Chains A and B, each alone.
Chain A
Amino acid sequence: MIKVDNVSKSFGENAVLKNISTTIKQGEVVAVIGPSGSGKSTFLRCLNLLEQPTAGDICINETMITSLKVNKLEIRKNIGMVFQHFHLFPHMTVLENVTYAPKKVKNMKKTEADEIGKSLIAKVGLTDKETAYPNRLSGGQKQRVAIARALAMEPDIMLFDEPTSALDPEMVKEVLDVMKDLADSGMTMVIVTHEMNFAKEVADRVLFLDNGMLVEEGKPESFFAKPQTVRAQNFLEKIL
């Protein structure tokens, strides 16, 4: 469970998040949508402390992660993150990318890490690419490896920041399919996305951010059919 309580974040004078509060339940899939620059990435990055909130608290499974005493590395072990631009390690093969963190961070033995890594790579459909370097992969393949890499740490929560925005259109589906499987398996997921159909289909709840504020949230059916706020109406009009 993730409990976000009155979280604000400023970069200098620039208030990017303003008093965000919401609770994400175990196993829930939450889509975060909103205009560019509204603070979606910053919100996501606060959840694994890539950004430190300026005010407010975030609680993950009873741990107050915004407390100053907390060990960020410990928190992050339990939260996977997938980036728009993949950020695979270019000097490591696909298998090495996936097994690096379990070996380094969890001190897992190579044989065990390889076993888990291979099964995850198979799960995202890339067994034939195990020994390839990232530069030999298409965008969709890279993103699937990035998902496998995050899953290799066996996290409770997965964060996705526009995972399909950098992909050619024909590769979007293969990545969304992997994410859908993950959602079906009961993973807690927070997904920043512009794929409204995916959000409709897979998300349990939609958060609409505008100008750093959580303007509206609701079930995808009702949110997309009948948004309550003018700002959400305007946003959906523009993109649909």
Chain B
Amino acid sequence: MAGIWQELPRFLTWYNGIFLLNALLNTLLLSIIGCLAGGTIGLSLAIIRCARGRAMAVPRAFAWAFTEFFRRLPPLVVLMLAFFGASVARVDLTLFQVALIGLCLIATASLAEIVRGGIVSVHPNQWDSAAALNFGYLRCVLTVILPQAWRVIIPPAISFMLLFIKDTAFASQLGTLELTYAGKVLTTKGFSAALSYGTVLLLYFALSYALAGLGRRLETSIGIPADR
């Protein structure tokens, strides 16, 4: 442990600071873009999956298969699928973009399932009233069902997003420069693992803890009792 104090002056350089900050920013970007894209696509998939009627059978089956497949895979498998998929398809993407695609797939599947849970939680009589008033499916979902489903969707969605920040760590296995990868780089530069990964853990903690607090504030502000 004493070793850490000795290497600390060498560690706390301007250069390392910028390096870690950049990595932290990338982790944040992966998390935010992943959640936004995953939220948007997941919402669409959930809406498709809840549609009735034979005309929607094929899109519905696709949405079902996509959701059930990707949320039953470890993040690392999805990321590797994205990585090798991109190389097989010969599309020229940066490692960051590849990781982002993989992470979006993960977030999409999980958030689609969470939104679906919210949609089915709304009392069926709301669909009846809307249908009797000539609402189409999409209008009913958007103006009647989702506004009531949010209270059910938001708590698990926030929980997922907080877990998702930690899942972005697997992007390091593709060589994407984010916090975890930065830790690896620091150890190869000769800093002790305790200091390198300790710092990385600390940065993750700050990020996740701050966002968890934000999530709790959001929940209480929309009137969901905080019990976590």
Bound pair: A and B? Answer: no
The residues of A with any CB-CB pair to B shorter than 8 Å are: none
